[in-house]
Structure 1
């Protein structure tokens, strides 16, 4: 008889009030090829998990197990796996595989690979006791980072790091951050450590308090104007109308990077008011393995303050509901 495990699956995507996340029993998966069987030690809850549960992102896998910010322990190896050993602590992130042969992969832009797959979307993720992952897309976790601290770094941290690069913030420049959750509170710390002035705009009073506590220079409402023109901005909130707000806050030549995988519709742009004077609007699509390696080194070196709200594994549905209602400080993290 195959060993079984507890998991959570998106059985019927819909509004969070309809409880789209359901507790299930699954067979413990068997690692094949280059795969590792990983015992989950901590799994952070991402807004992308919420988008999958609510149907904002069309499901790629029926009854998918979400979760793509996983810190775990290697339990077993597939027949071709040789990069890690049983007992090693590893991180499993959003990017699960790429083809390695297309023009995007060959030029170093594997995050744009049209054949890429994703943890918790194309293959079952970390809202479970175990998962399998291709060792070529798994990351060693620095020993200085505890499980619950490291988990949010694997998506919230990495995507924020890539967004910061895409925003092309000038040295010692002024950065605006719209929305201040798991990703933003880490990105702000990286920017501050590099000498930036950081202004936060978010609807959550608790998030504004956290921003000031972390050293941001101001914190105001989501639609408020920052106290000075922004050299760059990052939009983390999935609200398309904030694109116009952020563009209008940019200084001449500034760049707005949109960091989410899902965004509500953007209202019509007024070219002269919103985009003229060489302002730039750009998206952020997933991340590369290089981004992840760079950011984990940055996180270990700077000792980022990772704000975590812990949840027992049996409360994954509550964690998603709290995330939807902006009741989570920093990152929600499931602890099996």
Structure 2
């Protein structure tokens, strides 16, 4: 028998993290819809997108939303239409992309990440800063039982979005990749790029992040605005800092591409055509991901087992986790570990 109520965090008053925008509450345990599963949360990664939502950088899509979209848990119930998926008792991941329409021209051509009717976990519907979360059965990912939940959680957004950004930057085989910002997503993406034979240069303002980059095998690790030691074939901007766009474009070799991976970016200063874009340099955005991106990335990391640098926070300290993320005090990925989960 499931309880009638659960612990959860909601974004009560969007604003600077110092104003404590999160509020711990008791909510009814949700009932799964016909196409949904109900998942009991084992761990939930803390994403910079959660911080943008809490601080109001992302306009709320609904009041008092439960954030969190890097959820690892067990299926404990399902709707009638989801019965055929045979997910009961299995371990799954609930990620950022919650649903798409499946009918628009973007969905039909395999670009469901651009669907105008898409919805998102922890923005359009309650997410994983709670004991239970519902998700559409067709949008969850099967996860291995033998890997700790804390290690799996960051893969579900930081990893998947980083994988999409790596595809979008058009890195040539055995090319030179620049990474700007080195947090949760970047440290996973760097490892995948190096597995593929790339040389990786990291530029970040955090001294601890530079140390982590060196430990993981980066060819160099410098300050956020430093010039890399050689021209870049491609670059990814993970830091939500628009002022780094011209910096990264200037570091590109001829024909290079910069992919901007964040959902939110501060204003980009004026670009100089000759210095930043001429010689067929390209600037691209990254918008969410497709389920195919997620499956492809999880297949890669299941085979290779990346080092996932994590900092575990008790469920009761969700606000501190976001504050540490805002203050660049998290080396790798922050993950909430609830008391009801094994080891929480």
TM-score, structure 2 as length reference: 0.97
Q: Which of 87, 102, 105 is the matching residue for 2:104?
A: 102
CA contact (8 A) 1:145 1:300 kept: no
Decide which moves more: 79-88 or 310-319: 79-88
Given the alignment of the two structures, is residue 278 of structure 1 paired with residue 280 of structure 2, yes or no? yes
The aligned runs of 1:130-145 (5 Å cut-off) are 130-145=132-147
Match of 2:18 in 1: 17
Q: Which of 299, 305, 308 is the matching residue for 1:306?
A: 308
Quote the Cα distance in structure 2 between the aligned partners of 1:196 and 1:240.
Answer: 25
Using the TM superposition, give the Cα deviation of residue 144 of structure 1 relative to its aligned residue in structure 2, in angstroms: 4.6
Match of 1:5 in 2: 6
Given the alignment of the two structures, is residue 124 of structure 1 paired with residue 111 of structure 2, yes or no? no
Using the TM superposition, give the Cα deviation of residue 145 of structure 1 relative to its aligned residue in structure 2, in angstroms: 3.0
* CA deviation vs aligned residue, 1:133-168 (integer Å, no higher than 9, x gap): 000111101345321111100000000000000001
Q: Please state whether the residue corresponding to 2:77 is helix, strand or coil.
A: strand
Superposed structure 1 runs of 4+ greater than 6 Å apart: none
Quote the Cα distance in structure 2 between the aligned partners of 1:145 and 1:102.
Answer: 37
Quote the Cα distance in structure 2 between the aligned partners of 1:7 and 1:84.
Answer: 28
Match of 1:32 in 2: 33
* CA deviation vs aligned residue, 1:19-71 (integer Å, no higher than 9, x gap): 00110110000011110010000000000000000000000011000000000
Given the alignment of the two structures, is residue 216 of structure 1 paired with residue 213 of structure 2, yes or no? no
Using the TM superposition, give the Cα deviation of residue 129 of structure 1 relative to its aligned residue in structure 2, in angstroms: 0.3
Q: Which of 239, 242, 246 is the matching residue for 2:241?
A: 239
Q: Please state whether the residue corresponding to 2:133 is helix, strand or coil.
A: strand
* CA deviation vs aligned residue, 1:238-276 (integer Å, no higher than 9, x gap): 000100000000000000000000000000110011100
Match of 1:266 in 2: 268
Q: Name structure 2 gaps, 5 residues minimum.
A: 339-344
Q: Which of 175, 192, 209 is the matching residue for 1:190?
A: 192
Match of 1:42 in 2: 43
Given the alignment of the two structures, is residue 287 of structure 1 paired with residue 289 of structure 2, yes or no? yes
Match of 1:320 in 2: 322
Quote the Cα distance in structure 1 between the aligned partners of 2:146 and 2:163.
Answer: 20
Using the TM superposition, give the Cα deviation of residue 2 of structure 1 relative to its aligned residue in structure 2, in angstroms: 7.2
Quote the Cα distance in structure 2 between the aligned partners of 1:96 and 1:195.
Answer: 33
Q: How many residues are aligned here? A: 336
Match of 2:60 in 1: 59
Quote the Cα distance in structure 2 between the aligned partners of 1:66 and 1:131.
Answer: 11
Quote the Cα distance in structure 2 between the aligned partners of 1:92 and 1:3.
Answer: 22
Quote the Cα distance in structure 2 between the aligned partners of 1:276 and 1:145.
Answer: 47
Given the alignment of the two structures, is residue 166 of structure 1 paired with residue 164 of structure 2, yes or no? no
Match of 1:68 in 2: 69
Quote the Cα distance in structure 2 between the aligned partners of 1:65 and 1:299.
Answer: 28
CA contact (8 A) 1:84 1:135 kept: no
Distance 1:74 1:241, change over 3 A: same
Q: Please state whether the residue corresponding to 2:138 is helix, strand or coil.
A: helix
Decide which moves more: 141-150 or 118-127: 141-150
Using the TM superposition, give the Cα deviation of residue 84 of structure 1 relative to its aligned residue in structure 2, in angstroms: 3.4
TM-score, structure 1 as length reference: 0.99
Q: Please state whether the residue corresponding to 2:80 is helix, strand or coil.
A: coil
Q: Please state whether the residue corresponding to 1:36 is helix, strand or coil.
A: strand
Q: Please state whether the residue corresponding to 1:80 is helix, strand or coil.
A: helix
CA contact (8 A) 1:234 1:256 kept: yes
CA contact (8 A) 1:104 1:110 kept: yes
